[in-house]
Amino acid sequence: MPILDSIAIQKILPHRYPFLLVDKIIELEPRIRIVGIKQVTANEQFFVGHFPGAPVMPGVLQIEALAQVGAILALREFEDRDEKIPFFSGIDSAKFRRPVVPGDTLRLEVTALRIGSKVQKMRGVATVDGQVTAEAEIMCIIANRSDIKE
């Protein structure tokens, strides 16, 4: 049973299809750790061009999926989260270990290294069947939506 389903996730994250890359949250320790799931299907738009005849989920999208899970952990701490938006501010020590293909269940585990009022730092590890596919330290800034210039 998920702790957060896709509808609950969309109440926290500003991302929407086709860029929402987390389907559910299955574990959550506030301010400490979170685990999300992405069911990778053959219908993903990125598979059309990455790569025809040999579909592989781009590593950068695995990192983005980890960041989205981390953003859920961080944004939950803000009562005014509807007025906030997370922005990447850094990615360190990123490594890609094995391909992710249609039919895989991507497990996205993110541990908080620093949860602040503005700057967040987390460590994310993506796995399929217990094998690491991608890992990185992710930093983001939580900005006010009103500060973004259109």
Catalogue the active-site residues: 50
* β-pair type (119-128, 33-39): unpaired
- Backbone dihedral region for residue 128 (phi beyond 0: left; psi -120 to 50: alpha; all else: beta): beta
- Alpha-carbon gap, residue 104 to 142, rounded angstroms: 31
| The pair of three-digit structure tokens given for residue 14, joined into one six-digit string | 């500003």
Q: Which amino acid is at 91?
A: I
Q: List the beta strands (DSSP E) in 14-83.
A: 24-29, 33-39
- Alpha-carbon gap, residue 111 to 105, rounded angstroms: 19
